[in-house]
Amino acid sequence: MTDIIRTHYINQLDESIIDQNVKIGGWVEDLRDIGSLLFLTVRDVSGTAQIIVNEPKMLESTKKITRQSAVMIIGNVQKSKSKAFNVEIKAEHIEVITNAVHPLPVDPTGRVNASIDVRLGVRALDLRNPRVLALFRIRHEALQSIRKTLVIHNFIEVNTPKIIGSASEGGANLFSLEYFGKKAYLAQSPQLYKEQLTMSLDRVFEIASYYRAEKFHTVRHLNEFISIDIEGAFMDTEDVIQVAEQIVRNVLIDIKEKCVNELKQITAEIIIPSLPFERLTYSQVLDEINSHDIKLEFGEDLPDHALRIVGEKHKGYYFIKDWPSKLKPFYIHEKNDNPELSDSFDLQHGYLELASGGKRHYNTNKLKTRLIEQGLNPDDFKDHLKVFEWGMLPHSGWGIGFDRLLMVICNTSNIREVVLYPRDAERLNP
């Protein structure tokens, strides 16, 4: 059996180990045959190495290795004459672990372009493209950074069920499934659970997948997406807005520091925004929109083309606060000085909505009234409403669309670029 333990990652090969014997593992990216000499470019997760083959007995078999095949190479580290590499490996033994069968569906070196649709169909191979890999390294760092900031603010991480017995927020956009003879749904948000948990755990956060059963045809919607949700007792809207700002700023700082090479790969530049982010109100935004050739009445939702106008003027991150109560879900509290307005906000980047949240109702009767006003039946929420009679605490929170935040950080125009296996109306595989 092949010993598959390597001695080094490729980025650990440097001049300090010249003349040492090493064993690396990876896949063949390129193979150049110049007669009595073969140059192999081998990649692993950390980078690329140049391998020289000049042993006559190895030349013939090595020439037959197909690009992208998995190999293990034993050899001696030596100084390289190439401009691209400081050191190279003079091969003593090359073992093909598995063969890549050609033709391959995409070229993961990125030299031959493929459409996103084709690439998503063969995502595992697409991820060998350094540019694509960089996006998911950035994604990983972003998650670490967000967890770190939330823990600093005393939020604890929770996991709530994704198979649920009734709609979490009302509305029709739920996937349903059969659950041992009963009807169940896939959670569209952790909203009700996270609110309930504040009465004991005080500050909670969850990072998980949620499901929306709408046939979206946009570059910013998926049917399964990751939301970062927080909920905190004795916090008001401004408190949770500040947590959101700090998360966004810290993510940008951390990525700028930790993902220098990845940012270079994707040619993205990070500019650290200063705090606080601009706070606009719904009414201000409406005035800005109506000063163009669009006429929107107070109480109307802001459509895409209207938000693009706002995004043109307010280019970075900003909040839109004080939305009309009727546009917000039943659980959102109204403003104390004006019940027409809700104590709520959206976080925007340009035209793109990144998050929404606000202060919540914590009084059962008010919640019941709001449910009825929104055409929902309080009986469908009786388990949830019960909790509010056990000493519920005042609380606020938000949900950030994590995939959308990554679109902004990585400067990609399609959400599918930053999601490993996106689910949309057309795509259920792989």
What is the C-alpha separation between 259 and 284, in angstroms, rounded? 37
Here the tokens at position 99 are: 């063969």
How many chain residues are in contact with ligand AMO, going by CB under 6 A?
A: 21
Q: Which is nearer to ligand AMO, 132 or 354 (CB)?
A: 354
397 sits near ligand AMO (criterion: CB under 6 A): yes
* Whether 205 contacts 230, CB under 8 Å: yes
Contact code string over 345-384 relative to ligand AMO, x by CB under 6 A: --------xxxxx---------------------------
Distance of closest approach, residue 351 Cβ to ligand AMO, in angstroms: 12
401 sits near ligand AMO (criterion: CB under 6 A): yes
Strand pairing partners for 211? 224
Handedness of CA 211, 216, 219, 220 (dihedral sign): negative
222 sits near ligand AMO (criterion: CB under 6 A): yes
403 sits near ligand AMO (criterion: CB under 6 A): yes
Distances (CA, A) of 62 to 38, 69, 76, 140, 416: 8, 11, 17, 36, 37
Q: Which is nearer to ligand AMO, 73 or 355 (CB)?
A: 355
* Whether 132 contacts 265, CB under 8 Å: no
Handedness of CA 235, 236, 239, 242 (dihedral sign): positive
Q: Which is nearer to ligand AMO, 128 or 404 (CB)?
A: 404
Distance of closest approach, residue 75 Cβ to ligand AMO, in angstroms: 47
User: Pairing mode, if any, of strands 21-33 and 47-53?
Assistant: unpaired
Here the tokens at position 81 are: 């004459």
236 sits near ligand AMO (criterion: CB under 6 A): no
343 sits near ligand AMO (criterion: CB under 6 A): no
Q: Which is nearer to ligand AMO, 119 or 359 (CB)?
A: 359
* Whether 213 contacts 223, CB under 8 Å: yes
What is the C-alpha separation between 41 and 91, in angstroms, rounded? 12
Strand pairing partners for 232? 203, 396
Distance of closest approach, residue 355 Cβ to ligand AMO, in angstroms: 5
185-204 positions binding ligand AMO, by CB under 6 A: 189, 191
Q: Which is nearer to ligand AMO, 50 or 344 (CB)?
A: 344
323 sits near ligand AMO (criterion: CB under 6 A): no
Taking CB positions, which residue lies at the least distance from ligand AMO? Answer: 401
Helix (H, G, I), strand (E, B) or coil at 260: helix
Q: Which is nearer to ligand AMO, 67 or 279 (CB)?
A: 279
212 sits near ligand AMO (criterion: CB under 6 A): yes
Nearest partner of 186 among 427, 426, 423, judged by Cα: 423
Q: Going along 66-202, which residue ranges are E strands?
A: 70-79, 87-98, 156-157, 163-164, 176-179, 182-186
Stretch touching ligand AMO by CB under 6 A, among 58-66, 70-78, 91-99, 216-224: 216-224
Contact code string over 21-60 relative to ligand AMO, x by CB under 6 A: ----------------------------------------
Distance of closest approach, residue 402 Cβ to ligand AMO, in angstroms: 8
170 sits near ligand AMO (criterion: CB under 6 A): no
Distance of closest approach, residue 227 Cβ to ligand AMO, in angstroms: 5
Handedness of CA 21, 25, 31, 36 (dihedral sign): positive
Stretch touching ligand AMO by CB under 6 A, among 11-19, 61-69, 70-78, 219-227: 219-227
What is the C-alpha separation between 133 and 138, in angstroms, rounded? 9
221 sits near ligand AMO (criterion: CB under 6 A): yes
342 sits near ligand AMO (criterion: CB under 6 A): no
Question: CB-based contacts of 426: which residues, under 8 Å, 6+ apart?
Answer: none
Give the full edge-to-edge strand order of the sheet including 176-179.
Answer: 163-164, 182-186, 176-179
Q: Which is nearer to ligand AMO, 330 or 398 (CB)?
A: 398
Distance of closest approach, residue 379 Cβ to ligand AMO, in angstroms: 21
Residues lying near ligand AMO in the complex (CB under 6 A): 169, 189, 191, 212, 216, 221-222, 225, 227, 229, 353-357, 397-399, 401, 403-404
